[in-house]
Structure 1
């Protein structure tokens, strides 16, 4: 395992993804399809919803593959 960390930068939030931790439960894409869309590249669009909503939803990720960082001032 490489512990690769992919980061997707938005104006108010950075979404972090560790692919090797992902168990493909689909919680992310089912809950916020405008933000998490595996048919698009990049598959994460951190400006497609409110940063707080994205942060709450990332908390539901069962594997911990998704994490976030709220940017200063928000």
Structure 2
């Protein structure tokens, strides 16, 4: 499994680090339309607005989910 996976809606990117995920389900219970662990890809990032995504990611107890704003990421030239 990859060290991290990224999902973006063009404005924000959610980063998931599966190796540190505790699978407690806080994300899926908080935003079930976005976080669907039985599907692939399991994060349906376009199912909620950016503010809702950020608010839910910030509740991740393990730190397996994080985010960055695409406008703030330095370009990799």
Superposition TM-score, scaled by structure 2 size: 0.83
Query: How many matched pairs?
Result: 72
- CA-CA distance at 1:3 after TM superposition: 7.5
1:7-46 map, 5 Å = 7-46=6-45
Q: Work out which of the two has the higher radius of gyration on C-alpha atoms and give 1 or 2.
A: 2
**Structure in which a larger fraction of residues adopt helix:** 2
Q: What 5-or-longer segments of structure 1 have no aligned partner?
A: none
**Moved segments of 4+, more than 6 Å:** none
Question: Aligned equivalents of 2:23 and 2:5: distance in 1?
Answer: 16
Superposition TM-score, scaled by structure 1 size: 0.86
Question: Aligned equivalents of 1:46 and 1:59: distance in 2?
Answer: 15
Q: Secondary structure at the match of 2:59?
A: coil
- CA-CA distance at 1:36 after TM superposition: 0.5
Q: What 5-or-longer segments of structure 2 have no aligned partner?
A: 73-77
